[in-house]
Every structure is written in structure tokens, then in C-alpha cells.
Structure 1
């Protein structure tokens, strides 16, 4: 009798197993335009999402042209997140059309108050590089959590909890960056980059920013732009200037050469992530890592000292084998 009962129970369990498996929430298929959004979605969504980014490492969103593969990905997505404020340029019309068919969210305009935006005197109107301020970028996490909850109500509590935890991490990151930049001698606190993508970083963390060309990279810097920047670099005695992962370094080299002609030696302080994160599978391939590595390069090249990594980021640091001692 026991054997018969055991066999019967096993049969029932086996019969129910496919039903239980089927009852598991299907991951939300999320398409994002840039990696900085994708990483937030992954942190908020966890196992309840599958994320695809249209633009990978080294890709300039200002110049990006959608492919037929991108259109297929847009069609198959359950939810689409993009930055907004014209960052995606030529994708704008495509995204607008898909917004009539499915949730298509511009995370920056949906999450960040207009009073916190930086206006610019060009076709953009608004500087779209908001991720350079970790405190501002953290505000997109609750927006993403709410949108994902609408698409997958079974995971709503997880989305909310994950978003709260991630905001806590970005708040700690924000404070860490402030301390790092404040350690740079005041006379050397000037950040010179290829294009004007660091205004939010400069405002948030107290460093003067000089971009050789404007917000967009659609046109190259002029000779006059290069000479004007070199003049400022020489006058301020800036010790290092920085290349960007999405922009040809020849503009920076031209500034170095022009500054040398004025009698000032300036070095390349390293590569910064501006419009894209680093390679997948590296610390710089995460949003926290992008801001961390930028800050590390800027701080050390300009004569500052890195503070210790806060406890709330210790898990991230351990994952990527990054020491938290505060040493350069």
C-alpha cells in the first residue's frame, strides 16, 4: 500500500511539475538604447527581465543609425527604454512610432525635474548627459521599476526593493565621487575632454569642465576650438587632459601639440567613458564602474587621492576585484 501511495504521489507531482514551471513569470523582454540605462534595468529587474542594449561599448549615440536588426528588436520588445532629450538623435522618429504600440519610455524626461537640467545654446536645448551625475541618474530607477511592474505585476515587489537598494548604492557612489574630486588641489581642478559631455559631472562634483567641441559629436572640433582650449590649458597649467572611449583621440592630441607650442607640457590623463560604458564583463561595463573608473582616472591624473569605497558598494567592488583601501 505504501508503495502504491508513493507511486501515486510521485505521479501527481510529475503531472503538476510542467504546470508549476509554466506558472513562473516570463521575463519581460526589455530593449534599451544605451548601456547606462540597460545596467539600471538589470539591477532593478533581476531575473524578471531580459535586457538587450542597441548600442554597445564605444558606440556614439549622437551618430547612431538604426539597422534592420534594431527594428526587429524593437518589434519583439515588451518594453523600450531610451534616454531622451535628443540623445538618440536619428532614432527619435523610430522610437516615437513604437511608442504608439507599446510602453516606450524616455527615462530622463520621465524622472528628472526640469529645474535640475542644464540648458545649452544649440539644437539640443537640453544637455542629455545626465548619467554623469549619479544622484540624478538614480532617479530613473523608480521610473523603471514602475514600468516593469505594469508589465510583470508578479515581480512588482522585487522591482521596488531592487530599485531602493540600487538608489542607495548610487547615493553612496555620488558621495564618494564628491570626496575624490574635492581632494584634487584647487588650482588643478579642471577637466578637459574631447566633447562637452561632463557638464553634469562638473556641476555635481565641483570641477571646471572644458569640452573642446559641443554637446554633439556630429561635427569635428574646429582649429579655433583647439587653439582656444590649448590657450586655456596653458594659462591654467592643467597637468592632464582626457580622451573619450567613443571619440577619436586626435582632437586631444591636437590640443596637446598646440599647448606645447605655447610652452606648456600636458599629458593624456587616461580614457574616460562619456556616451557609452566599457566592455561587457568588466567593471567599466557597469554604470557604477563607469563613474568609478572615470573618477579614478580624473582624480589620480590631476593630483588627488581616492577615498575608501563605501560599505554599501563593497559587494560591487569585490565582484570586480577592486581594492577599497583608498590608495591611488
Structure 2
């Protein structure tokens, strides 16, 4: 057998011997992460499309069938998928492998004095904190995948390390860029980017936390007053949220505004997802 043919045969033999996991992620950011960590040697599919709001997503019969038949479910936790929580808990009790990414950061966030004003409710948008991703989330996912499919441990580890290195480079560049804005505040329609901005010492004020808790007229007046006084350097709505309230503030106060996408509509990988939002943020902050 010719050397090149022998090499190709060996690669095919090794690849075919690796078991392909069937993985379902509830939201797109984890779909993007796992596609990279597994190098698509596992079958990763997405449950909730990135144009949908996971806070109010309700599963249909086909969703339940998919969740019941897959090898592994990766969910965010921290009540992000509130209408799925009961079903996911039941599946886990029934023996289904369910990873709640929140388990990787629960302890560190609860011990952090500025993680949340309410210890019973932790901000669930953990996938947008670069430091949380590199220190806890990606290593946690990789470790759990290795436990389930140890034959691909090297592949998972190498891809995770590349992903972490890319994110650390983004973090380093952003730390320099955002340094002049440390201590400033940004107005958000929804607190999805809380952990992202917290990494760089930038505070966020959100008009509402969940679904249906938009600010009252009195609260809006106070926010507009604060915006007019220069309290916020920028304002951001989100594609998956109702942005009516923040549009009112922007119109009345005249502050720079754009829309961010915490779930990555149409993004090809996680770096592309982050960079798309970073570009929107820089465009608006540069106006300040």
C-alpha cells in the first residue's frame, strides 16, 4: 500500500472508531462553542433559534421528542429557559445527560459581591462574560465532554485551548480600548451584556430584567433625567427584546444608541458572534 494511501486509510480508521455524540444545546452561543470544541466530530443541533427570546420560549411536542432522544443536552440554567426548566429537570432525574452551564459559575458568582442585587436571582447571561468563558465555561464543557467520550479527549482539549486563546486575545485588546471608559455607565434595554461590560469596569443600568416588567412612566422620567445629565455614555437595545422604552429615552435624551445581539443571529462561529457585537459597541461609544 502506497504511503499516502496508508495515511488516509489510517485517518479514516481512527475517525470511524470515534463515537459521535448527539448533542442539543438550548441556545445558539453554546451551539457555536460546541461546534468548535468538537470540531463537528459530534452532531450538535440547536433547539431555540437565535431570533427567539429564550426567556419566553415554550417547547412543542417535537422539541420534547428531540430532547428525549439525544445523548446530551446543554442548557444555560439560572432560569434562562424558564419554560423548559421543569422538563429538563425531569429528563435529568430520568437518567438523561443534562449539563447546566450555570453549574460551572454558580459558586463564583454567588460569592461575588457585585454579581447580582438579588442572591435568589443571578443574571443568567453568563456566555457574554469573556472571563467567565475562559476560566470556567469552556474548561467545564471540555471536561464534561471528555468524561462522556474520553476517546476524543485530545481533540476536545486542543480545540478548547485554541478557542480560549482567541478569546483571551480579544479580552486583551478590549481591556486597552475600554480603559478610558472604566467607571462609566451604559444604558441597556435588558441586562444581557452585564458580564461583558463588567469585565472592563463599565457599569450597566437595565430598563427591565425579564419579560413584561418594563419601566413605569415615573421610572422612565427618572432615567431620561439621568441620561440628559450625562450619566450614560451610550444606550443599547437588543434584537430579541421590546426596545420601545429605550427608544423613548434615546429620543428624549439624545444619547447614542445601537442594537446588540446576545444570541448571534447568522453568526458563523463564536468569535464572529462576539466581534459583531463589539463592532456595534465601538461604533456607538466612539460617538461619545
Normalising by the smaller structure, the TM-score range is 0.7 to 0.9
Q: Does 1:221 align with 2:210?
A: no
Q: Does 1:28 align with 2:21?
A: yes
CA RMSD of aligned residues (A): 2.8
Q: Does 1:162 align with 2:145?
A: no
Which residue among 266, 284, 287 is the counterpart of 2:255? 266
Match of 1:10 in 2: none
Closer/same/farther in 2, CA of residues 267 and 141 from structure 1, 3 Å limit: closer
Aligned residues: 276
Once residues 228 and 294 of structure 1 are traced to their aligned partners in structure 2, the CA distance between those partners, rounded to angstroms, is: 28
Q: Does 1:95 align with 2:83?
A: no
Once residues 52 and 87 of structure 1 are traced to their aligned partners in structure 2, the CA distance between those partners, rounded to angstroms, is: 19
Q: Does 1:295 align with 2:278?
A: yes
Match of 1:75 in 2: 68
SS in 2 for 1:241: strand
Alignment check: 8 A CA contact 1:181 1:299 kept:
no
Once residues 290 and 108 of structure 1 are traced to their aligned partners in structure 2, the CA distance between those partners, rounded to angstroms, is: 20
Q: Does 1:130 align with 2:114?
A: no
Match of 2:42 in 1: 49
Alignment check: 8 A CA contact 1:244 1:273 kept:
yes
Match of 2:205 in 1: 210
SS in 2 for 1:127: coil
Once residues 117 and 63 of structure 2 are traced to their aligned partners in structure 1, the CA distance between those partners, rounded to angstroms, is: 30
Once residues 226 and 278 of structure 2 are traced to their aligned partners in structure 1, the CA distance between those partners, rounded to angstroms, is: 22
Once residues 299 and 56 of structure 1 are traced to their aligned partners in structure 2, the CA distance between those partners, rounded to angstroms, is: 26
Alignment check: 8 A CA contact 2:186 2:233 kept:
no
Greater mean deviation of Cα atoms: 234-243 or 159-168: 234-243
Once residues 102 and 226 of structure 1 are traced to their aligned partners in structure 2, the CA distance between those partners, rounded to angstroms, is: 45
Match of 1:321 in 2: none
Closer/same/farther in 2, CA of residues 160 and 20 from structure 1, 3 Å limit: closer
SS in 2 for 1:205: coil
How far is 1:29 from its partner?
0.5
Once residues 21 and 136 of structure 1 are traced to their aligned partners in structure 2, the CA distance between those partners, rounded to angstroms, is: 34
SS in 1 for 2:189: strand
Gapped runs of 5+ residues in structure 1?
1-5, 7-12, 260-264, 306-328
Once residues 192 and 40 of structure 2 are traced to their aligned partners in structure 1, the CA distance between those partners, rounded to angstroms, is: 33
Instruction: Give me the TM-score of the superposition, normalised by structure 1.
Output: 0.75
Match of 1:316 in 2: none
Once residues 235 and 66 of structure 2 are traced to their aligned partners in structure 1, the CA distance between those partners, rounded to angstroms, is: 38
Gapped runs of 5+ residues in structure 2?
none
How far is 1:221 from its partner?
2.9
Once residues 81 and 154 of structure 1 are traced to their aligned partners in structure 2, the CA distance between those partners, rounded to angstroms, is: 20
Matches within 5 A, 1:171-250: 171-184=168-181, 189-214=184-209, 216-236=210-230, 238=232, 240-250=234-244
Closer/same/farther in 2, CA of residues 237 and 35 from structure 1, 3 Å limit: same
Instruction: Give me the TM-score of the superposition, normalised by structure 2.
Output: 0.85
Greater mean deviation of Cα atoms: 196-205 or 39-48: 196-205
Q: Does 1:109 align with 2:97?
A: no
Match of 1:62 in 2: 55
Higher-Rg member (1/2): 1
Once residues 196 and 21 of structure 1 are traced to their aligned partners in structure 2, the CA distance between those partners, rounded to angstroms, is: 45
